[in-house]
Amino acid sequence: MAQVLGWEQFAADMATVHGEEFVRDFAKSVTDEIEAEREVTYAQQRKIASATSRLDQAYLDGLGECHMRVDPAVFWHWVHRYGREIWNDPDFVRIFKRDNPDVRVLARPRKTTVVRP
């Protein structure tokens, strides 16, 4: 994680001008905003999981399989943190699905049948 340079001096200047309580409240508001964003993202992911569970998922051999559905905010969070290639890492995807079971999509194979008239 990148370290914020000059934070100590900024906090000291703010404490001098506005007081120690202001700096504590400012830091708490930043933390609260991050937590609120996280909660909204988890709520959106739960909605996606709920909608996914109502769908009949199937895949055809050779066309691929939908194995998880991820909210865009969650997707971009990990892309910004580790880069776009993180989603191509099978270990990351396996651990992500283990830690977030709501993203899993249980699909069953569907055989294709060609009927001749």
pTM higher than 0.75, yes or no? no
Residue among 54, 37, 93 nearest 70 (CA): 93
Q: What are the average pLDDT values for consecutive 10-residue runs of the chain, which has 117 residues?
A: 62 79 78 75 73 56 70 86 91 90 73 64
Contact between 59 and 65 under an 8 Å Cβ cutoff? The reply is yes
Distance CA(97)–CA(95), nearest Å, equals 5
Residue 89: per-residue pLDDT:
94
Residue 106: per-residue pLDDT:
73
24-29 — which CB contacts under 8 Å span 24+ positions? none
Provide Rg for the chain, Cα atoms: 22
Q: Report the run of H or E that residue 109 belongs to, with start and end.
A: strand 108-110
Contact between 40 and 47 under an 8 Å Cβ cutoff? The reply is no
Residue 68: per-residue pLDDT:
83
